[in-house]
Amino acid sequence: MKNNFYITTPIYYVNDRPHIGHAYTSVACDVLARFNRLCGKHVKFLTGTDEHGQKVEKSAAASGVKPQEFVDKVSQTFRDLADLMNISNDDFIRTTEPRHKKAAQALWQKMQANGHIYLGAYSGWYSVRDEAYYQESELVNGKAPTGAEVEWVEEPSYFFNLSQWGDKLLEFYEKNPNFIMPESRRNEIISFVKGGLKDLSISRTTFSWGIPIPVSQAGDEKHIMYVWLDALTNYLSALGYPDEGAVDYQDFWQNSYSMHMVGKDIIRFHAVYWPAFLMAADLPLPKRIFAHGWWTIEGEKMSKSLGNTVIPADLVAEFGLDQTRWFLMREVPFGNDGNFSRERMVAVINSELANNIGNLAQRTLSMVAKNCGGKVPNADGVEKDELDMSFLYNIYVTEANTPQDIENRYMNCKFNDIMADIVTIASEANNYIDSKAPWKQKKTDERLMNATLYHLLEGIRCIAIMIQPFIPDSAVKILDLLAVPANERGFSHLSYDFALKAGAELPPPEPVFPRFMEKTV
């Protein structure tokens, strides 16, 4: 249990071109997946595409192609996004796959067999953009509270008895205070559930692009599953459900720490509907739902009509992959809304990557190449002064910064704090060089210069291990420049026990983070 970690992104609607909002969720999950792997955990990281429903059906029609052809094409752009952003997902689920249809129908059957589904008729408001039902009282100036258009729908429909689950949900939130994070979202969900839940319409009959419900009586052939019930099941279908004996199901649902990462707009589906469906089917619940905030672009809402959509491929082409990943995770405390500004991006990647971490590696490695014959220098026999001691204390995992502390910060998605601390360590290392001035030590006592450079290499080694979840390619590049063995790059190697060996041969230094220069016209 302690060693299995399951992390999922929301599955992306295939009506849209991938933008930074999608890249953001995926990179955050990737950071968690990579961190947990580097701690030696058994990790499954799932992403994929949400391909059914009226919204997708309409987009396909607007493109003049059959839905299947349309979803095949757009789903591929999300796979490409994962490759582009260096996302280390272990699987990619599509809701049009047979394994998923089977799982969604099985979940329905289980909920129905347990007596939680009944036939009725729905009449009310529906928003195709949100794929959500709204009550009259929720509408604002005739629109959904999200600003989306709504339409009146009247049709035969199956219902899930959501109204029966309020107390059980509240009890569950109470017993599991970290189930919904951050706290503000947890409070929002608790007050929503306390406000009373209505039964949920879970089938549609007025269009056909979806998973047919299992037929149990005449007329059922017309019903397709509500797209959110269909979509949420993806988290189980990728684990082999309904085969509860499947190894992945056992490892990652039954006996794991499982976490769904979502945007704040879809927290209700994940923190209310999903646990209720699971309880209704007697299945275990995930351990955590974390909702992140939304990006605006240069102060404005990102939207197709404003034409200000930020495309990840453009950022990667202009600034570099790791620079983009760094900025996305660094700029705003995870959970808060944030603003994307080009100016900030340039400032952050230049000051933190190029001028700080990159400069530290470059100055140190080139001094080692020039003055130590390209080998790890020897620090033995030089007594450490206070400056050395406090520098070394900060870079290693210590009682003030235990592996448990590090894990908690990651699992609570404190990404920008973690990164700020890494930046501080790098700044201190740069100050350490300036105070020690190894170029002067060289003239007075070479042993002192060797010791200083050795400590700096150790600092860089630890920084490179720590940045791996965020910027894996650059981290590998630095670890390679330090000739750190491949099996000594985990978080358990952040200690003196795995320190670099004096005399080890190092490859010729190379710059890792170029400084970004605005092109002048």
- Residues that bind ligand MSP in the complex, under the rule CB under 6 A: 10-13, 21-22, 24-25, 50, 231-232, 234, 262-263, 265-266, 294-295, 302
Q: How far is the CB of 436 from ligand MSP (least distance, A)?
A: 44
Q: How far is the CB of 25 from ligand MSP (least distance, A)?
A: 5
Q: How far is the CB of 232 from ligand MSP (least distance, A)?
A: 5
DSSP 94-163: ETTSHHHHHHHHHHHHHHHHTT-EEEEEEEEEEETTTTEEE-GGG-BTTB-TTS---EEEEEEEEEE-GG
The pair of structure tokens assigned to 513 is 């983070």
List C-alpha distances in Å: 450 to 201, 430, 436, 453. Answer: 71, 16, 11, 5
Q: How far is the CB of 422 from ligand MSP (least distance, A)?
A: 24
∠ CA(484), CA(489), CA(493), 5° rounding?
100
Decide whether 338 or 377 has the Cβ nearer to ligand MSP.
Answer: 338
Rounded to an integer, what is the distance from CA 395 to the centroid of its chain? Answer: 26
- Residue with nearest beta carbon to ligand MSP: 263
Element (H, E) at 45: strand 42-50
Decide whether 12 or 209 has the Cβ nearer to ligand MSP.
Answer: 12
List C-alpha distances in Å: 66 to 58, 62, 286. Answer: 10, 10, 36
Tell me, what DSSP letter sits at residue 198? -
Q: How far is the CB of 152 from ligand MSP (least distance, A)?
A: 23
The pair of structure tokens assigned to 473 is 């390619």
Alpha-carbon torsion, ordered 318, 322, 323, 329, to 10 deg: 130
Q: How far is the CB of 9 from ligand MSP (least distance, A)?
A: 8
In sign, the C-alpha dihedral spanning 478, 480, 483, 489 is: positive
Decide whether 263 or 459 has the Cβ nearer to ligand MSP.
Answer: 263
Q: How far is the CB of 299 from ligand MSP (least distance, A)?
A: 13
Of 429, 434, 420, which is closest to residue 462 (Cα–Cα)? 429
DSSP 246-261: SHHHIIIIISSEEEEE
Q: Which long-range contacts (CB under 8 A, 24 or more apart) does 467-471 make?
A: 467/357, 467/422, 468/34, 468/38, 469/30, 469/31, 469/32, 469/34, 469/35, 469/38, 469/410, 470/31, 470/322, 470/325, 470/326, 470/329, 470/415, 470/419, 471/322, 471/325, 471/326, 471/353
Alpha carbons within 13 angstroms on the beta-carbon side of residue 247 total 2
Decide whether 229 or 433 has the Cβ nearer to ligand MSP.
Answer: 229
The pair of structure tokens assigned to 291 is 């909702």
Decide whether 454 or 470 has the Cβ nearer to ligand MSP.
Answer: 470
Decide whether 9 or 364 has the Cβ nearer to ligand MSP.
Answer: 9
Decide whether 266 or 425 has the Cβ nearer to ligand MSP.
Answer: 266
Decide whether 92 or 294 has the Cβ nearer to ligand MSP.
Answer: 294
Decide whether 60 or 231 has the Cβ nearer to ligand MSP.
Answer: 231
Radius of gyration of the chain (CA): 26
Q: How far is the CB of 199 from ligand MSP (least distance, A)?
A: 21
Decide whether 13 or 454 has the Cβ nearer to ligand MSP.
Answer: 13
Q: How far is the CB of 16 from ligand MSP (least distance, A)?
A: 6
Place of tokens 């710059």: 511
Q: How far is the CB of 39 from ligand MSP (least distance, A)?
A: 26
Q: How far is the CB of 265 from ligand MSP (least distance, A)?
A: 5
List C-alpha distances in Å: 43 to 91, 260, 367. Answer: 11, 14, 40
Decide whether 331 or 458 has the Cβ nearer to ligand MSP.
Answer: 331
